Chain A
Amino acid sequence: SQKIEQNSEALNIQEGKTATLTCNYTNYSPAYLQWYRQDPGRGPVFLLLIRENEKEKRKERLKVTFDTTLKQSLFHITASQPADSATYLCAPGSAGNNRKLIWGLGTSLAVNP
């Protein structure tokens, strides 16, 4: 069955450093992949989308890569700030008319001042 794996352990980093979160998938060939941020008690908020023909996508301090050979996406936050502390979810999606996303469990990031 399709499986999405994200770092299960919380990631703790120092303010100003780069945070790197991993999303691996198996038994799946997504056409695109979305990343969301979720704060406690709130719904997920969309951050970035990357398509299978794109190797890298950037938005301000965020960068996402998509390696279809390794079946992996990496999510980077550069110059991290305490306000970046949250849970980050990856959600690959397939081509075609099905609008379903398959969601990872998320990785908790804590940026320490």
Chain B
Amino acid sequence: DAGVIQSPRHEVTEMGQEVTLRCKPISGHDYLFWYRQTMMRGLELLIYFNNNVPIDDSGMPEDRFSAKMPNASFSTLKIQPSEPRDSAVYFCASSLDGRNGPQHFGDGTRLSIL
């Protein structure tokens, strides 16, 4: 079975540009999570969805960040406008319903804002 698929793997863009990160969760998983990882802060949860509905977006740093899940097989995380401090690795993960179920991660998007 295919795992969680993220695109692009790498993104380099200039400050002020719009950035869109994409994620395809594992088929049948009804939870989807977006994380950001940096050396200083580790993995930080940005937002998670259940059955395509955003449940908790308290980790979204500011209004420049937005996430959507139009259907069960696709989600986007958008940053507009981007800033150098947004540079990080962004991960998407999915899990089956279940209180303590393991999360399955994609290989991330390494984002560099110049």
User: Is the C-beta of B34 less than 8 angstroms from some C-beta in chain A?
Assistant: no
Contact A101 B103 (CB under 8 A): yes
Secondary structure at chain A's binding surface: helix, strand, loop or mixed? loop
Q: Are B100 and A93 in contact (CB under 8 A)?
A: yes
In the complex, the answer to whether B42 meets A103 with C-beta atoms within 8 Å is: yes
Instruction: Assess whether B107 is interfacial by the CB under 8 Å rule.
Output: yes
Across-interface contacts of A98 in B (CB, < 8 A): 56
Minimum CB distance partner of A106 in chain B: B42
Number of chain B interface residues as a range: 20 to 34
Contact-residue bracket for chain A: 20 to 34
Residue ranges of A at the interface with B (Cβ–Cβ < 8 Å):
31-32, 34, 41-46, 49, 51, 89, 91, 93, 95, 98-101, 103-106
- Which 7 A-B residue pairs are closest in the complex by CB-CB distance? A43-B105, A46-B102, A103-B43, A105-B42, A32-B100, A44-B105, A43-B107
